[in-house]
């Protein structure tokens, strides 16, 4: 590697698309979000790792105004207008009974997976943790599709569960507005911590 070579394997354009130029969006360009982009996004990010391949993330897409209207009362007031105007909102949830799909995600050791995660209370923490990991992949996938994402945690989680997931083992933990980028962000990017502030070595 020469002194001027980029140490990252991704092209600079890809780095910018996924990280440097991407921003959490509060507004979006016109037009719907194509289903083919969502399917391509999923086919990419489904390869992100989770513990024992459990994949507990579940995604509810609210494309219609009626669907989003059911969500709005459960959002923090500052999140309602932008969600009502967004082309698409995804409600991210974790499946607390993910182990029931063990034959699908770990077919060679399905019995072992079911045994490890037999306890319902003990299952909840790994379900939540791994779904949050997948949410990170999801947001990068939205950016990789050339779309903008506006993730939100400001909502009544129990209220959203009752509204959309009653009688299931799904629990909402994030909502993400998605659409075509609207152009320059209205606020400058806030500072990030430097390497020395975050990384240590022994």
pLDDT digits (tens, 9 = 90+) for 26-76: 999 988 999 999 999 999 999 999 999 999 999 999 999 999 999 999 999
pLDDT value of residue 4: 65
User: Cβ–Cβ contacts within 10 Å for residue 201, how many?
Assistant: 3
Average pLDDT over the chain reads 95
Whether residue 1 is predicted with pLDDT greater than 70 in this model: the reply is: no
Question: What residue ranges in the chain does DSSP mark as E strands?
Answer: 57-62, 88-95, 148-152, 170-179
Which comes out higher in pLDDT, residue 180 or 5?
Answer: 180
pLDDT value of residue 183: 79
pLDDT value of residue 45: 98
Band (pLDDT 50/70/90 cuts) for residue 3 is low
- Alpha-carbon distances of 75 from 111, 135, 140, 145, 158, rounded to whole Å: 40, 19, 23, 26, 11
Distance of CA 83 to the CA centre of its chain: 16
| CATH placement of domain 32-182 | 3.40.109.10
Domain ranges of the chain: 32-182
Band (pLDDT 50/70/90 cuts) for residue 109 is very high
Nearest to 82 by CA among 162, 149, 159, 156: 149
pLDDT value of residue 2: 55
Least confident of 57-71, 98-112, 157-171, 180-194: 180-194
Mean pLDDT of 119-126: 96
Least confident of 64-68, 148-152, 159-163, 185-189: 185-189
Mean pLDDT of 118-133: 97
């Amino acid at each position: 590697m020469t002194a001027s070579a980029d140490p990252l394997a991704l092209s600079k354009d890809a780095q910018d698309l996924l990280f440097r130029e991407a921003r959490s969006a509060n507004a979006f360009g016109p037009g719907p979000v194509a289903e083919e982009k969502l399917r391509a996004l999923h086919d990419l990010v489904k390869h992100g790792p989770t513990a024992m391949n459990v994949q507990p993330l579940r995604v509810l897409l609210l494309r219609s105004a009626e669907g989003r209207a059911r969500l709005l009362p459960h959002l923090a007031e500052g999140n309602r207008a932008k969600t009502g105007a967004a082309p698409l909102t995804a409600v991210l949830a974790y499946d607390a009974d993910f182990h029931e799909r063990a034959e699908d995600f770990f077919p060679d050791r399905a019995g072992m997976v079911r045994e490890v995660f037999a306890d319902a209370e003990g299952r909840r923490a790994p379900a939540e943790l791994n779904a949050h990991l997948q949410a990170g992949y999801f947001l990068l996938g939205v950016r990789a599709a050339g779309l903008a994402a506006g993730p939100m945690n400001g909502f009544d989680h129990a209220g959203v569960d009752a509204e959309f997931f009653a009688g299931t083992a799904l629990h909402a933990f994030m909502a993400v507005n998605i659409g075509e980028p609207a152009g320059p962000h209205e606020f400058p990017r806030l500072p990030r911590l430097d390497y020395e502030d975050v990384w240590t070595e022994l």
